[in-house]
Structure 1
């Protein structure tokens, strides 16, 4: 059994993790602890408070008791808002508090893009334009070219969590760019687990979504590899060759 821990802000699309656990269909357990978000707002000051060290540290004891082997701060905006260096310090502090390997969804996107071997991406963000631009800057700091950035202007995670699959598909379609090698949907409040395969078929390119890459990142931290094509190209592995 591989136990993976996630600190998830508030309540919006946390059921994606239950779906992903079922889709993995293996001896992998996803343990999720909700953090106190303070004010639900895609606004820089609120996001900085949401991702503060004290708020994250408060949830790690429960994950330790669950037997988690790694922890991911499952919040994109609450990590990239600190900038490249600040986000590194955030996960270092989280690792110290948790006593286990740690990362965040923002770094999960960077590592997933590198895993796919792509350099040019388009972004379909639910956030207001200024917050969406901070994510683009974070990716550029990692050497990733952003060919297009679309912000939907949604202020609260609660509203994003109510989006239908049709609205997610429309965001993806509106955000895609012909010269982008992959599309990124960076909000963990967005339900996407059931839509990734259809989105990739629709756009004919890899689609990376926040909850998907968060799980993949936790697996990466534990060096666990899983073949689950239903979760998109990121989870597609060649089948083992039997001797």
Structure 2
């Protein structure tokens, strides 16, 4: 069969990812990526050290990063990301900036780290007080808090597991339990640290339950990398990815299809409407009484506008 008429594969934009040797969540990163973007991953060399401050320093040495960036240069990515939270906060803000500079020098393309992306994400949503969830030991968690403090972000509460290996095996239920424990002091947002900790599917549940933005290490990394090349990360019900979603369900009407006109006739029959659609229609000042098809694809019905400031998250 002659398939020449197909014209070949669709053009792809490239994102280079340098990850620690024990990174196991390649598939999770892909879930934030649109179809016309490809991820090109490489890993740092193996070191026989458990997850700790020592490991964070070893996997983030400038020479190690340069080698990873140069290896990826062969496939010409447009942006380079170092996908490791602890490795990019262990040296404080000065260390993070030096890492980014070393990557950019080696690859001659825009570069970022997970911790740098986190600070950008916190600015994006206007969060200055955060709760932390980490799989780390106390000392590594303390280092993350110190990094945030340097950036002017206060930590209101935290919960950590104390793990030193196989973090990718942590189940979602443990992440949710830690999140509930960490947010007791009404933070502006919750951050779930470590790119090796699974988070994708818990973000919408936690945002609906906790009524606040929820950020994760892999999420902020992909969000920042993609925006550097003019693309948007994809993901359902995530406040970081959709500014409208930060204001609760009523504001979702801007992304919904227009309501159909009432049927002609003296006694039109009004179809039953979901409670969420009623609220959305009322907020938008809509005059039609028809239900909005597909509203269930919007923000979770449990997330209401309780952040104050006219629906904006507190600053």
* Counterpart selection for 1:224 from 216, 228, 231: 231
Higher RCO (C-alpha under 8 Å, 6+ residues apart): 1
Residues 193 and 83 (structure 1), Cα distance of their counterparts in 2 relative to 1, 3 Å cut: same
Of 29, 36, 54, the match for 2:38: 29
Question: Is the CA contact (8 Å cut-off) linking 2:134 and 2:141 kept in structure 1?
Answer: yes
Question: For the Cα contact (< 8 Å) 2:156–2:183, is it kept in 1?
Answer: no
- Which is further off, 131-140 or 60-69? 60-69
Give the match for residue 91 of structure 2.
Answer: 82
- 1:195 deviates by 2.1
Match of 1:20 in 2: 32
The answer to whether the Cα contact below 8 Å between 1:229 and 1:236 also exists between their aligned partners in 2 is no
Answer whether contact 2:137 2:160 (CA < 8 A) is retained.
yes
Q: Cα–Cα, structure 1 residues 126 and 54, in superposed 2: closer, same or farther, change >3 Å? A: same
CA distance in 1 between counterparts of 2:195 and 2:49 reads: 13
Higher-strand-fraction structure: 1
Question: Pick from 119, 134, 138: which aligns with 1:129?
Answer: 138
- Larger gyration radius, structure 1 or structure 2: 2
Corresponding pairs, count: 235
- TM-score between the two structures when normalised by the length of structure 1: 0.89
State the TM-score, normalized to the length of structure 2: 0.70
Structure 2 unaligned spans of 5+: 1-11, 245-253, 256-315
3-state SS of 1:224 partner? coil
CA distance in 1, matches of 2:25, 2:183: 23
**Structure 1 residues 194 and 30, CA gap change in structure 2 (3 angstroms):** farther
Q: What is the Cα deviation at residue 229 of structure 1?
A: 4.7
2:298 corresponding residue in structure 1: none
SS in 1 for 2:100: helix
Offset of residue 203 of structure 1:
1.5
CA displacement 1:52-107 (0-9 Å, x = unmatched): 11211222233222221111110010110111111111110111111111110011
Q: Which has the higher helix share?
A: 1
